[in-house]
Amino acid sequence: MTSAPVRIGFLGAGLIATYHSKSLKGSGAPVVRAGVYDPDTARAEAFAAASGHHVVHSEDEVIEHCDAVYICTWTSEHPRLLAKAVAAGRHVFCEKPLAFTAAEAEAMAAHADAENVTHQVGLVLRYAPSYIWAHHLIHQPAAGRVMSVVFRDDQFIPIQGHYSSTWRADREKVGAGTLIEHSIHDVDMLRYLVGEVESVSAHTANFHGHDGIEDVATAVLRFANGAVGTLNSIWHDNLARPSLRRVEVFCERRHIVIEGDDWFGPVSWTDSDGTHGSLEGAAIEEAVAPMREGSNNPDGEFVRAIIERRGASPDLHTAVLAHRIVDAMYASAAAGGEAVQP
């Protein structure tokens, strides 16, 4: 389909905005680089110099002169900026988490629907070949039913190192800690890999002492299909360990492990008859290519959804479902680990 390029604006010019800007370039999607605004002018200027966008002096100016806007600010600003953008008829790509609570996230999704705009959320692991391939292995009849999942996610606390996101220690800007800010990805992947969550029991801890910012969260999840799983999310100070995940899924007749690189694995599996395999890198990308409806680039797919006047994926409603589970985990932790239904 041929169409005029989509004018893209950015609200926020930090690390995640840079990631999406580079991803857009790599996607080859037809875009025009419009305005970027960040309260830190030096950061906006550096982003503009690297990306081809131009610095403007207000949020309104970005929104006025674009077709679609990326919301890449700290979390507290997401609901306000999304409301402003969709009221102007702009398509929106909003970073995760959408908001502090599921209720706020649900209101954002409803608002975007009401204005009939294309909307997408930054739950990018939905595009990761490693998770797509693991989903395929889990749901093959040969695997049998899913019995249990063990999901560990750790990284150094992102107020330091190459993240240098000092706002993640500010409860007023981020809402809470590792569970909502980082492991909302993991909650989304647990739904994707295993199924809907029926109840959770969680505990949190705070070692760094930042008010309201938990740096350890552990949860037991009961799934509607009978499976039971655990999620362990940690923000530590070991800068030798950036964002790292290890996922083990135990089916009746198959054991699957995702480790190494979030995107390209390896993913390994062993079946009850002794057969086993492992895929990573280009091989895993080739294996999942027939399973995709589009490309492996979430930003390019956002632009294509706008051009084709259809819904994007994952959309804000996908994020709402993850937010409900995260809310239940926080409620459980506040109640001393009592089981809570999302």
- How much is the mean pLDDT over the chain? 97
Write out pLDDT tens, residues 89-143: 999 999 999 999 999 999 999 999 999 999 999 999 999 999 999 999 999 999 9
Tokens at 265, concatenated: 């694995």
Per-position DSSP letters for 65-93, written without gaps between them:
T-SEEEE-S-GGGHHHHHHHHHHTT-EEE
Q: Above 70 in pLDDT, residue 198?
A: yes
What does the pLDDT average to over 252-280?
Answer: 97
Query: What percent of the chain shows pLDDT beyond 70?
Result: 99
Cα(342)–Cα(339) distance, integer angstroms:
10
Amino acid 271: pLDDT:
98
Q: Which of 294, 328, 291, 333 is nearest to 137 (CA)?
A: 291
pLDDT category of residue 4 using cuts at 50, 70 and 90: confident
C-beta separation of 214 from 231 below 8 A: no
Same fold, 6-123+298-314 and 125-293+322-334: no
Q: What's 6-123+298-314's CATH class?
A: alpha beta
Residue 173 to residues 15, 166, 321, Cα–Cα distance (Å): 16, 10, 22
Superfamily of domain 125-293+322-334: Dihydrodipicolinate Reductase; domain 2 (3.30.360.10)
Domain boundaries, the chain: 6-123+298-314, 125-293+322-334
Residue 47: what pLDDT?
97
- pLDDT of amino acid 174: 97
152 phi and psi angles, rounded to 5 deg: -115, 130
> pLDDT at residue 163 above 80?
yes
pLDDT digits 0-9 by tens, 10-49: 999 999 999 999 999 999 999 999 999 999 999 999 999 9
Residue showing tokens 């492990």: 257
Which helix H or strand E contains 129, and what residues bound it? helix 129-138
Arithmetic mean of pLDDT, 225-233? 98
Q: Which residues of 284-308 are buried (b: 16+ CB within 10 A; e: fewer)?
A: bbeebeeeeeeebbbbbbbbbbbbe
Longest Cα separation, the chain: 64
pLDDT at 3 over 80: no
| pLDDT for residue 2 | 44
Query: Rounded distance, CA 129 to CA 287, Å?
Result: 8
Kindly indicate the confidence band of residue 293, based on its pLDDT and cuts at 50, 70 and 90: confident
Q: Provide the pLDDT for residue 1.
A: 39
Query: How many Cα atoms are found within 13 Å in the side-chain-facing hemisphere of 152?
Result: 7
pLDDT at 119: 98
Q: Give the pLDDT of residue 294.
A: 87
Whether the per-residue pLDDT at 246 is higher than 60: the answer is yes
Task: Find out whether 131 and 228 touch, Cβ atoms under 8 Å.
Answer: no
Of the CA atoms within 13 Å of residue 203, those in its CB half-sphere come to 4
Q: Percent of the chain, pLDDT > 90?
A: 97
Count of Cβ atoms closer than 10 Å to residue 212 Cβ: 13
